[in-house]
């Protein structure tokens, strides 16, 4: 998901959180089943909520994903992908 997104965007995208070991995931109060712990999720940010919304919409409309989450009114975007192909295409707002 990230490489095609970066190619389309043509500008830097910051990954605030990618893989998390269980200890770090617990420290940041992540879900006990977080896909971050298996390296299947990333929290991404452009530094601007409106631009984050553009990333979100592009992913939603054009790329495969398991979960796509608008975090705190586009403060950042969570995106996950299951390599096994069983992607739910679930869109959420937290």
Q: One digit per residue, pLDDT tens: the chain, 94 residues?
A: 999 999 999 999 999 999 999 999 999 999 999 999 999 999 999 999 999 999 999 999 999 999 999 999 999 999 999 999 899 999 999 9
Q: Which domains does the chain have, with CATH numbers?
A: 2-93 (3.30.1380.10)
Phi-psi region of 85 (alpha: psi -120 to 50; beta: other; left: phi over 0): left
pTM above 0.75, yes or no: yes
Q: Which two tokens stand for residue 84?
A: 């096994």
Residue 79: its pLDDT value, please? 98
Q: Which residue has the tokens 């998901």?
A: 1
Instruction: Report which DSSP code applies to 62.
Output: H
Rg (CA), the chain: 13
Residue 30: its pLDDT value, please? 94
């Amino acid at each position: 998901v990230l490489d095609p997104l970066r190619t389309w965007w043509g500008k830097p995208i910051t990954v605030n959180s990618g893989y998390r070991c269980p200890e770090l995931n617990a420290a940041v109060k992540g879900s006990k089943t977080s896909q971050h712990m298996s390296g299947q999720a990333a929290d991404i940010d452009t530094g601007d909520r409106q631009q984050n919304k553009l990333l979100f919409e592009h992913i939603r409309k054009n790329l495969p994903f398991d979960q796509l989450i608008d975090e705190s009114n586009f403060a950042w975007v969570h995106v996950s992908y299951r390599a096994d192909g069983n992607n739910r295409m679930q869109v959420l707002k937290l």
